[in-house]
Amino acid sequence: KARTVLLATEKAFAADAVAKIQAAFDESKYTMKKLENYKSKDELLAAVADVDAMIIRSDIVDAAVLEKAAKLKIVVRAGAGYDNIDLKACEAKSITAMNTPGQNANAVAELVFGMMLTSARNNYDGTSGFELVGRSIAFYGYGAVARAVGKLAAGFGMVLYAYDPYIPKDAIKKMGAEPVDTVADLFKHQYVSLHVPLTPETKESINKELLLKMPKGGTLINTARMEVVHEAQMLEVLKERPDFCYLCDVGFKAQEEAKAIVGDKYMKRVIFTKKKMGAQTVEANNNAGIAAANQIVGFFEKGETKFSLKA
Chain residues that interact with ligand 3PG, rule: CB under 6 A: 11, 57-58, 79-81, 104, 276, 278-280
CB of 9 to ligand 3PG, least distance (A): 8
**Cβ nearer to ligand 3PG, comparing 235 with 296:** 296
Cβ atoms of 59 and 37 closer than 8 Å: no
Cβ atoms of 247 and 218 closer than 8 Å: no
96-99 sheet: strands from edge to edge: 31-36, 4-9, 53-56, 74-77, 96-99
**Cβ nearer to ligand 3PG, comparing 143 with 218:** 143
CB of 217 to ligand 3PG, least distance (A): 27
Cβ atoms of 193 and 223 closer than 8 Å: yes
CB of 202 to ligand 3PG, least distance (A): 14
CB of 259 to ligand 3PG, least distance (A): 23
At 124, the amino acid letter reads Y
**Cβ nearer to ligand 3PG, comparing 81 with 150:** 81
CB of 105 to ligand 3PG, least distance (A): 9
Altogether, the residues listed in the chain come to a count of: 311
**Cβ nearer to ligand 3PG, comparing 158 with 250:** 250
User: Bridge-partner residues for 229, per DSSP?
Assistant: 206
Q: What share of the chain is helix, strand, coil (3-state, %, to 5)?
A: 40, 20, 40
Closest CB to ligand 3PG: residue number? 79
Classify burial at 145, counting beta carbons within 10 Å of its beta carbon; exposed 0-12, middle 13-18, buried 19 or more: buried
CB of 301 to ligand 3PG, least distance (A): 25
**Cβ nearer to ligand 3PG, comparing 238 with 279:** 279
Task: Report how many helices (DSSP H) and strands (DSSP E) the chain contains, helices first.
Answer: 12, 12
DSSP 62-130: -HHHHHH-TT--EEEESSS--TTB-HHHHHHTT-EEEE-TTTTHHHHHHHHHHHHHHHHTGGGSSS---
**Cβ nearer to ligand 3PG, comparing 119 with 280:** 280
**Cβ nearer to ligand 3PG, comparing 205 with 280:** 280
CB of 25 to ligand 3PG, least distance (A): 19
